[in-house]
Amino acid sequence: MLTDAIHKNLGDHAQAVWDESITDEITEYIKIPALSPHFDADWAANGNIDKAVAHIRRWCASQPIAGLSVETVRLEGRTPVLFMEIPSFPTPGVGDTSVLLYGHLDKQPEMSGWDEDKGPWIPVREGDKLYGRGGADDGYAAYASLTAIAALQKQGVPHARCVVLIEGCEESGSYDLPPYVDHLRSRLGEIDLVVCLDSGCGNYEQLWSTTSLRGLVAGQLSVEVLEPPNDGGSAGVHSGDAGGVVPSSFRVLRALLERVQDTDTGAIKIEAFNVEIPEARIAQAKAAAEILGDRVVAKFPLIGAPVARGHEAVLNRTWRPALEVVGIDGIPDLRGGNVLRGKTVAKLSMRLPPTGDSKAATAALKEALEADPPYGARVTFTPEEPADGWNAPALAPWLEAALMKASRRYFDRDAAYMGEGGTIPFMGMLGEKFPNAQFVITGVLGPGSNAHGPNEFLHVPMATKLTACMSSVLADHRAQQG
């Protein structure tokens, strides 16, 4: 049982390390354009992921943690991972299970729209916020994980064996990760608690745990209505001559998307993308909406009205499917000629409910888009590797109590629970490999943090308190083992 004095010392340790070291380290990490492989096909030659690995590894290896080993693991042709092992404390070898702490160091692309004095690779500190790409998503994870463990050891508080895994491919769907999990399986041990620091929070005033994550189905939808020229370029004809005779590739694309999504409501029509929402998750959505009020919607810089409000908005972003066109090719800029284009390609990103089957949904989407194309156009949907979502197992009583205690201690408010709309493929994979494990999925991506977009920021006080909370949870985990 942690005393008030120990709790205070854990919090003081987290604050000191963030103030004296971590914030500066993340500031330098933000400067590294460590784009995930989907956004940098030449990532290996460009070396930025390796720079990020080396930067984080140097700090990790210097931490005063008994028995800590830090290793960069490389499989041929794949992004590297940082793998760290910390034996149980104070007596190595005690217990037959381990805690896995997870994060990633690869980043999303630059995106336009940053404030004039900011940029994805330009760290800027303004008050509580450290702006720049990757600090909150998810560069802070390795630093927070080791600081939480070091704080326990400094106070002489026992903890179980811990392994820390930091990957370099999460923003590309973690397709490199399964081979590493298989490669490291014997060294991972038997995992009974997973701590993931790559999720969101409803506000910055309490500890939030993620109860579910949506899956992802994505791919390129190509519509061709004219044969390409001999040089393989993009076909085009005079719009005045061809308009009304040659169908618009953009209009055909719109018609195909209407097969998938109701234009008026945004609802997804394909049955494979819809699931029955568990009553427990509906209740949690209502509780989260009660806590957050208008902030469920106000976190976004909306023009006009949202699709939904209150707990329905929470469910829309966590348990219902959604379609977004995240890229279009074949469309000239506004200075282009008056031409009817022969081809339009759109990149589709579809969020899948946590319990949906991503492979079945991908097959259903491809069939819906390619069947009986309008005007006999050449329609092709080329899917990317899909990712299943994840629905958390019920919390063990000890863990529910531990989260509540930690939140009350370091935030002076109750712990809160909510699903998240994004995808962390690793969670579903871990759930299959370690069916008896408990999960603490949390993070610092709260209101306005704008992960993947312009002016992304890390809320430093939130990350600091979250670090102390993880110390408390790790101590309670060890205590309940007996």
User: Residue 455's domain is classified under what CATH number?
Assistant: 3.40.630.10
Tokens of 5: 């004095």
Which residue do the tokens 């920021």 mark? 457
**Looking at the structure, do residues 199 and 124 belong to the same domain, yes or no?**
yes
| Euclidean distance between CA atoms 135 and 376, whole angstroms | 48
* pLDDT at residue 432, as a whole number: 85
**Looking at the structure, do residues 128 and 202 belong to the same domain, yes or no?**
yes
Domain final position from 383, 413, 432: 383
| Euclidean distance between CA atoms 283 and 277, whole angstroms | 10
* pLDDT at residue 425, as a whole number: 84
CA 463 to chain centre: 16
The set of residues, in sequence order, having a beta carbon less than 8 Å from that of 426 and lying 6+ positions away, is 102, 167, 170, 174, 177, 196
**Looking at the structure, do residues 152 and 267 belong to the same domain, yes or no?**
no
**Looking at the structure, do residues 174 and 88 belong to the same domain, yes or no?**
yes
Q: At 134, phi and psi to the nearest 5? A: 95, -10
| Euclidean distance between CA atoms 179 and 429, whole angstroms | 11
Each residue's pLDDT, cut to its tens digit, for the chain (482 residues) gives 799 999 999 999 999 999 999 999 999 999 999 999 999 999 999 999 999 999 999 999 999 999 999 999 999 999 999 999 999 999 999 888 999 999 999 999 999 999 999 999 999 999 999 999 999 999 999 999 999 999 999 999 999 999 999 999 999 989 999 999 999 999 999 999 999 999 999 999 999 999 999 999 999 999 999 998 876 666 789 999 999 999 999 999 999 999 999 999 999 999 999 999 999 999 999 999 999 999 999 988 899 999 999 999 999 999 999 999 999 998 988 887 899 999 999 999 999 999 999 999 999 999 999 999 999 999 999 999 899 999 999 999 999 999 999 999 999 999 999 999 998 888 888 888 888 999 999 999 999 999 999 999 999 999 999 999 999 999 999 999 87
**Looking at the structure, do residues 227 and 375 belong to the same domain, yes or no?**
yes
* pLDDT at residue 365, as a whole number: 98
Look at phi and psi of residue 244 and say left if phi exceeds 0, alpha if psi is from -120 to 50, else beta.
left
* pLDDT at residue 429, as a whole number: 83
How is 198-239 classified by DSSP, letter by letter? EEE-S-SSS-EEEEEE-EEEEEEEEEE-SPPPTTS---EEEH
**Looking at the structure, do residues 269 and 281 belong to the same domain, yes or no?**
no
Q: Return the number of other C-beta atoms located less than 10 Å from residue 328's C-beta.
A: 13
How far is the CA of 433 from the CAs of 191, 256, 396, 402, 428, in angstroms?
A: 9, 38, 19, 24, 9
Residue 343, domain extent: 215-274+323-383
**Looking at the structure, do residues 247 and 293 belong to the same domain, yes or no?**
no
- CATH at residue 253: 3.30.70.360
Give the number of domains in the chain: 3
* pLDDT at residue 233, as a whole number: 64
How far is the CA of 306 from the CAs of 57, 213, 238, 320, in angstroms?
A: 43, 21, 40, 15
Q: Which one-letter DSSP state was computed for residue 119?
A: B
Determine the residue type at 201: C
**Looking at the structure, do residues 208 and 147 belong to the same domain, yes or no?**
yes
* pLDDT at residue 229, as a whole number: 84
**Looking at the structure, do residues 464 and 445 belong to the same domain, yes or no?**
yes
How is 97-109 classified by DSSP, letter by letter? -EEEEEEE--B--
**Looking at the structure, do residues 143 and 253 belong to the same domain, yes or no?**
no
* pLDDT at residue 279, as a whole number: 97
The set of residues, in sequence order, having a beta carbon less than 8 Å from that of 192 and lying 6+ positions away, is 97, 98, 99, 434, 436, 437, 438
Q: What is the dihedral of CA 291, 198, 58, 119, to 10 degrees?
A: -80
Domain final position from 360, 383, 406: 383
Strand order in the sheet with 215-224: 322-329, 343-352, 215-224, 378-383
Q: Which one-letter DSSP state was computed for residue 385?
A: P
**Looking at the structure, do residues 37 and 163 belong to the same domain, yes or no?**
yes
Nearest to 213 by CA among 3, 33, 355: 355
Alpha-carbon radius of gyration of the chain: 24
How far is the CA of 377 from the CAs of 153, 256, 424, in angstroms?
A: 66, 11, 36
**Looking at the structure, do residues 255 and 284 belong to the same domain, yes or no?**
no
Full-prediction pTM beyond 0.75? Answer: yes
| Euclidean distance between CA atoms 144 and 49, whole angstroms | 20
